[in-house]
Amino acid sequence: MLRHNTAVHRRDFLKAGGLSVAAGWGCDLSKRSRSANRPSVLFIAVDDLNGWLGCLGGHPHAVTPHIDGLASRGVLFSNAHCQAPICGPSRTSLMTGLLPSTTGVYGQIQDDRLRAAHPKIREGLFLPEYFQQHGYHTMGIGKLFHQHAPDGVFADSGGREAGFGPTPPEHFVWDQEKTGTDWGVYPDRDDAMPDYRSAQWAIERLGRSYDVPFFLGVGLLCPHVPWYVPQKWFDLFDLEALSVPPYLPNDDDDIPPIGRDLAAVPMMPTTEWAIKNGEWKRIVQAYLACVAFTDHYVGQMLNALARSAHAGHTYVVLWSDHGYHLGEKNRFAKQSIWEESTRVPLIVAGPGIDGGHVCSRPAGMIDVYPTLLDLCGLPPNSSNEGRSLRPLLDDPRADWPHPALMTYGRNNHAVRTEHFRYIRYEDGSEELYDHRHDRHEWKNLAGLDEHRQTIERLKDYLPRLNARWSPESRYDWNPYLTEHRKRNL
């Protein structure tokens, strides 16, 4: 199914310009569209993208020159986290500026039911709507909310192609109910992929002239499962030479039972299964191939921006809705409040932002909404629960006492500071990890007396409000959460 590749192919592909890095974008800050009084925004969402980027020191074989190039021209937040480790509540939180614990959107939700999910959502404005209200021309294509966007959110909508296709008539390896997970070479050409068409739509919009500033959102599907891309992307990675992530077989021995129940994904492969069946490296290769494919089309959009009249006055923000485990903690999935599920790429670049900085202060995707308003000179939205990251864009080493907060189901939270992850479950069970010494989160320190003071300090950041599940928000992949929702409606 997967053809072995060579380092020569990888070298020649890069040399030949198959992944030519976007040049010149953001360098000429004096280049302005005369009609634009405020900066424009290119807003790129990548589904299921974890930290496997060159700029984040992710997988050592990652091929991500365009995203790395964007990071070199802006600020890369190396300790950024989603507010929920699945698509629906994560994207709802970013687009509303409200925490899951405020809205009760803890599970998946249909775009057209978002306004009915909670009064605060109904009374507020989604991020693109706020820009439109302040004179921006808003455009969007692909997966930006859970599906695409609620009706009327974008003045110019390219919609979203259904599903995560194309898919072959039968799965190659993995074919379990309730998941589209699978991996292999498919289809034959890039132009059969929805993300190809989304990128071309965005490139065409970037080539237009506008009388007002724009907000252009592009939601890319890869590397969401199934991990299918054409052969040339697999050929960048020598299967035999690939490394797999660190794995501790008895990793869950010190995790409380509720933690194991919350993170259970019975429909997904386990690491033990992948080892036994010789599929771990193949999964890694497929994921890296999908990331390389995505990086290429991010680069095409950045090149289009660089060629346009908008280059000098457009902010670019690139983000992901959650991370993904690729074998760590005996799982290939998101759906946990451990590091690999919540850590996401976040890059902000554009006028006035010094490039090449990495910020290790904790940031949340909920901070994107107020940050973009701040950068574009728009009035703050008083309903936003995040904070503008502008102080960290000005000085990535500035004092920042604000941790990132993650939630997975009512009253299950994680708090991430620069050095610690603290998890507290609804039954009072706890986990604590010190990332200075344990970046894989292998040793739960919560039961040790010497860490009680740290835990008490981090508990102060847990949300005071824990809304009941919104009836509009659903989840039935996990037995614990299915029952949890019924108890907390």
Residues known to be catalytic = 87, 146
Locate 459 and state its tokens. Answer: 């508990």
Neighbours of 306 (CB within 10 A): 19
Residues 87 and 322: beta-carbon distance below 8 Å:
yes
User: Cα–Cα distance between 59 and 414 in angstroms, integer?
Assistant: 25
Omega within 30 of 0 (cis) for the link into 166: yes
Helix (H) or strand (E) holding 92: helix 87-96
Which are the contacts of 159, defined by CB distance < 8 A and separation ≥ 6?
Answer: 141, 148
User: Cα–Cα distance between 74 and 173 in angstroms, integer?
Assistant: 40
Residues 294 and 46: beta-carbon distance below 8 Å:
yes
Which are the contacts of 344, defined by CB distance < 8 A and separation ≥ 6?
Answer: 49, 50, 51, 80, 81, 82, 319, 320, 321, 322, 323, 365
DSSP character string of 423-436: EE-TTS-EEEEETT
Sign, CA dihedral 231-233-236-238, equals negative
User: Cα–Cα distance between 285 and 55 in angstroms, integer?
Assistant: 19
The neighbouring-strand residues paired with 413 are 407, 424
CA nearest neighbour of 439 among 44, 78, 89, 42: 78
Neighbours of 460 (CB within 10 A): 8
